[in-house]
Amino acid sequence: MGHYNINFSPTGGTRRVADILVEGLQGEYQQIDLCHETDNIDLNEGDVCLVSVPSYGGRVPAVAIERLKRITGNGAKAVLNCVYGNRAWEDTLTELQDTLEGQGFVCVAALATVAEHSIFRQFAAGRPDDEDKAELIEMAAKIQDRLNIGFNGKLELEGSHGTYKVFGGTPLKPTGNDNCSGCGLCARECPVGAIDAADPKNTILEKCISCMRCIGICPKGARNVDLNLWGMMAEKMAPVLGGRKENHLFI
């Protein structure tokens, strides 16, 4: 019986939540990082996967769906974890459920959990925090109980199935400035190949998904978005991003 912590986490918030959940689950969970290209993986009935994705505009990031489609469940159990940045997750969990069921997984439980907003970091700043950690560990124990009884039913989730909220992306696309040393790290780490290592100050705008990974990892602090546009968008989004939003467990 294998245990897998499968996650797409460009700036680390999704991964932090997933790692806390794994602490509260039984078994040794092996990491599968969907930020990098993955080989085809064939799982077995009896395997258990925690599958974690951030919500982007109420959807699963398309590249994560593409990489999840290379994993075949063959009856393996899946725990779904959608990590949202203090606004809402809309169809993220139903899209993830539809995808995993289509790949032969049995979905046993789902969570919508909060992490710092990866574009507007002043919202949900520092989350998951100690309060989240305690709550997530309790939720993991409830999920483990469900795994232990061998749940084989149908998980019912709110949200659309089959057709989902449309997310057209955001105009915030990072580019490099003159501090760039040309080290190429951002090109190697961009989940969608939107940076050419030979010309890392530029960004291939049609490919960029605005995940913000390159900003966080650049050792020279050489990448950023247009800060005027960022400021205007942050102000506009403030009413829906404020306050402390909750973690939810659906079983």
Ligand X SMILES: Cc1cc2nc3c(=O)[nH]c(=O)nc-3n(C[C@H](O)[C@H](O)[C@H](O)COP(=O)(O)O)c2cc1C
Binding site for ligand SF4 (CB under 6 A): 10, 173-174, 176, 180-186, 190, 192, 194-195, 200, 203, 208-214, 218, 220, 222-223
Q: Which is nearer to ligand X, 184 or 216 (CB)?
A: 216
Q: Which is nearer to ligand SF4, 8 or 89 (CB)?
A: 8
Is 35 among the residues that bind ligand X (CB under 6 A)?
no
Contacting range for ligand X; rule: CB under 6 A; set: 40-48, 109-117, 143-151, 226-234: 109-117
Smallest CA-to-CA distance from 77 within 51, 57, 41, 98 is with: 51
Three state DSSP letters for 136-187: HHHHHHHHHHHHHCCCCCCCCCCCCCCCCCCCCCCCCCCEECCCCCCCCHHH
Smallest CA-to-CA distance from 96 within 12, 16, 155, 20 is with: 155
What is the total count of residues that contact ligand X (CB under 6 A)? 27
d(CA 71, CA 130): 33
Which residues between 149 and 178 bind ligand X (CB under 6 A)? 170
Residues 182, 54: contact at Cβ < 8 Å? no
d(CA 96, CA 80): 7
What is the identity of the amino acid at 153?
G
Q: x-or-dash pattern for ligand X, window 198-217, by CB under 6 A?
A: ------------xxx-----
42 strand-pairing partners: 72
Contact partner at residue 54 from ligand X, ligand SF4, none, CB < 5 to 8 Å by partner kind: ligand X
Contact partner at residue 14 from ligand SF4, ligand X, none, CB < 5 to 8 Å by partner kind: ligand X
Residues that bind ligand X (CB under 6 A): 9-15, 54-58, 83-88, 115-119, 170, 210-212
